[in-house]
Amino acid sequence: MRRNRVVHTGVGILGAFALGLLSTSAISATDTATFAVSASIVAGCGITASPLAFGAYTGVQTDVETSLSVNCTNTTAYSVGLGAGTSGGTATARQMQMSGTPATKLFYALYSDTTRLINWGDTGGTGLATGTGSGSAQVIPVYGRMAAGQLSPPGTYADTITATVTF
């Protein structure tokens, strides 16, 4: 009789162990939660400019070119105006002044087209460059011209133009 007891006890322990395994998986549970994900894009633009150098003026018409770089968010409409400069000119009659002699001027013009027929105006004027942002930098050429026959004395002439992007 003793032999049966050992077998029954061993089976009982094995059964209890198996039941314990089953009960562990039976008490596992899960729960879920959701959360919102959002973002916004604000329209924006940035602008950079490269210098415009006419070089040594010899009295003949001189045409040069430089560029602006405009970077606006995708689908953002923009316009670019060029100010009159810091030397007392206007957007349609720009001038450089001689270093050390501000009253001495050298006249030039800035255009938005290769034929140099459309004078590039300021933010409220005409001849503005316009476009739509792509999210990448867009290069916009600026065309400069100094007319022939200016009789200004030798020296170094300069002006500073402000390029403004409006969006």
Whether residue 10 is contained in a domain is answered as no
Task: Show the 3-state SS of 34-94.
Answer: CCCCCCCCCCCEEEEECCCCCCCCCCCCEEEEEEEEEEECCCCEEEEEECCCCCCCECCEE
Q: Work out how many domains the chain is built from and give that number.
A: 1
Q: What is the CATH number for 138?
A: 2.60.40.1090
* Residues 98-153: tens digit of each pLDDT: 999 889 999 999 999 999 999 998 877 778 999 999 999 999 999 999 999 999 99
pTM: 0.78
Residue 21 token pair:
């395994």
Whether residue 88 is contained in a domain is answered as yes
pLDDT at 92: 87
* Residues 19-64: tens digit of each pLDDT: 455 555 568 899 999 999 999 999 999 999 999 999 999 999 999 9
Nearest to 40 by CA among 79, 73, 71, 78: 73
Whether residue 36 is contained in a domain is answered as no
Domain residues for the domain of 92 are 45-166
CB atoms within 10 A of CB 143: 20
